[in-house]
């Protein structure tokens, strides 16, 4: 009997540990918390009592104000994970006043750090309070309560010994929903059927539709690529581009605005196009469309990826393309997974370098 109890306890601890691991690995981009500013301290009722001062008069001090609650966008945060376990966030209360006219100490403000790009909503009012879209931005979300006055403050000519004081005011409280807008670090471009959606579904939890006909993807899809040690970056899959997109061919190129803010473009080439087109011509056609869209976009750092190498077992097509383009090409197969680990590590490195460069 006792043995069963121990086994159950071990099993329980093991399951608890497992669920915690899953929790940490899950990407949380939304959280709901309750925040409250500090209450003001109560005013004090007290009378001065000294040996040679009879009827010394009121000397009850005021209570201190409570702390306010702020949200601030901090640079080195990129998830809302910190809020997964803690639902109550409260600033300090003010201290009550005391005798000898002593004011109570004010409560400390609470500054809650969130990743840049966090939207702050009031749940009950269903209202967006603030979009903290830049590092350092700070906003006061709950105002603290004022401290109450002590009896000294109530003394008048007619009432020199007041026995009344004020209680501190309550601090404001709110139910807050935090929502983290993902901003893609890496954008996938390429002709239809190149395998962009297959790649994002291979390296993130995003599950866009994949099919062997062009223009399967009609809307941009974001996925979070997770690497070891909690490293992660955001990848955007967008609809395929074709020659003449700037004149409206295919789906046009309007959706390129979704990757205007990405740091890096990943250009996916189909190494064995079923229409027998030349991967180099396809590459040049897409580059031309990017130029037509915006010079800024075209100037972004580009990583060229040759996909579907499982269809090129001797590597001839990749070698050919390398020679013709005279650029670095990363071979992968989004279907077998070959080369994907190397590619995502490389992209992480480049995203990190680009982030560091803009922060300096
Ligand atoms: N053999 C092989 N087939 C692949 C590979 N990657 C993708 N495919 C196939 O290519 C076809 C198109 O893949 P998608 O991922 O839908 O291509 P896409 O670039 O997202 O296409 P659009 O959304 O139309 O722009 C599908 O039939 C995939 O199974 C690969 O590495 N090897
Ligand atoms: Mg697609």
CA-CA-CA-CA torsion for 336, 339, 345, 350, nearest 10 degrees? -120
Residue located nearest, by CA, to atom 27 of ligand 1: 212
pLDDT value of position 285: 94
Render 263-306 in DSSP notation, one character per residue: SEEEEEEESS-TT---HHHHHHHHHHHHHHH-HHHHHSEEEEEE
Instruction: Give the residue from 167, 169, 153 showing the smallest Cα distance to 66.
Output: 169
Residues with CB under 6 A from ligand 1: 190, 192-198, 210-212, 214-217, 239-240, 307-308, 310-311, 333-335
- Rounded CA separation 110/189 (Å): 44
| d(CA 315, ligand 2 centre) in Å | 25
pLDDT value of position 107: 97
pLDDT value of position 17: 65
pLDDT value of position 80: 84
- Rounded CA separation 92/65 (Å): 9
pLDDT value of position 227: 92
pLDDT value of position 27: 46
- Rounded CA separation 185/195 (Å): 19
- Rounded CA separation 153/58 (Å): 9
- Judge whether 253 and 289 are in contact, CB under 8 Å: yes
- Rounded CA separation 316/299 (Å): 30
pLDDT in tens, the chain (360 residues): 567 888 888 887 777 665 544 433 334 578 999 999 999 999 999 998 877 766 778 999 999 999 999 999 998 777 787 887 778 999 999 999 999 999 999 999 999 999 888 999 999 999 999 999 888 999 999 999 999 999 999 999 898 889 999 999 999 999 999 988 777 899 999 999 999 999 999 998 888 889 888 888 888 888 889 999 889 898 999 889 888 888 888 888 888 887 887 899 999 999 999 999 999 999 999 999 999 998 988 999 999 999 999 999 999 999 999 999 999 999 999 999 999 999 999 999 999 998 888 765
- Quick one: which ligand is closest to 208's CA? 2
């Amino acid at each position: 009997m006792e043995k069963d109890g121990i086994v159950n306890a071990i099993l329980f601890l093991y399951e608890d540990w497992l669920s915690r691991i899953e929790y940490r690995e899950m990407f949380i981009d939304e959280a709901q918390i309750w925040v409250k500013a500090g209450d003001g301290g109560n005013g004090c009722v007290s009378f001065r009592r000294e040996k040679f001062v009879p009827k010394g008069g009121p000397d009850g001090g005021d209570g201190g104000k409570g702390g306010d609650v702020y949200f601030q966008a901090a640079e080195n945060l990129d998830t809302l994970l910190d809020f997964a376990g803690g639902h109550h966030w409260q600033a300090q209360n003010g201290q009550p006043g005391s005798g000898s006219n002593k004011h109570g100490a004010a409560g400390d403000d609470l500054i809650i750090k969130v990743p840049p790009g966090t939207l702050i909503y009031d749940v009950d009012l269903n209202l967006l309070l603030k979009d903290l879209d830049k590092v350092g931005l700070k906003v006061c979300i709950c105002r603290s309560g004022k401290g109450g006055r002590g009896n000294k403050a109530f003394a008048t000519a007619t009432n020199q010994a007041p026995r009344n004081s004020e209680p501190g005011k309550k601090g404001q409280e709110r139910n807050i929903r935090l929502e983290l807008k993902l901003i893609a670090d890496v954008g996938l471009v390429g002709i239809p059927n190149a395998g962009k959606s297959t790649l994002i579904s291979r390296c993130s939890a995003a599950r866009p539709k994949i099919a062997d006909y062009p223009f399967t993807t009609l809307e941009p899809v974001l996925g979070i690529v997770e690497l070891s040690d909690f490293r992660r970056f955001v990848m955007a899959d967008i609809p395929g581009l074709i020659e003449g997109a700037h004149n409206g061919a295919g789906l046009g190129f309007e959706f390129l605005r979704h990757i205007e803010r990405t740091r890096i473009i990943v250009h996916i080439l189909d190494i064995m196009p079923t229409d027998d087109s030349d991967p180099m011509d396809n590459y040049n056609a897409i580059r031309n469309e990017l130029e037509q869209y915006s010079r800024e976009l075209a100037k972004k750092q580009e990583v060229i990826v040759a996909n579907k190498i499982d269809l090129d077992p001797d590597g001839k097509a990749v070698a050919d393309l390398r020679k013709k383009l005279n650029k670095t090409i990363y071979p992968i197969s989004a279907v077998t997974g070959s080369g994907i680990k190397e590619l995502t590590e490389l992209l992480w490195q480049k995203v990190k370098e680009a982030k560091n460069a803009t922060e300096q």
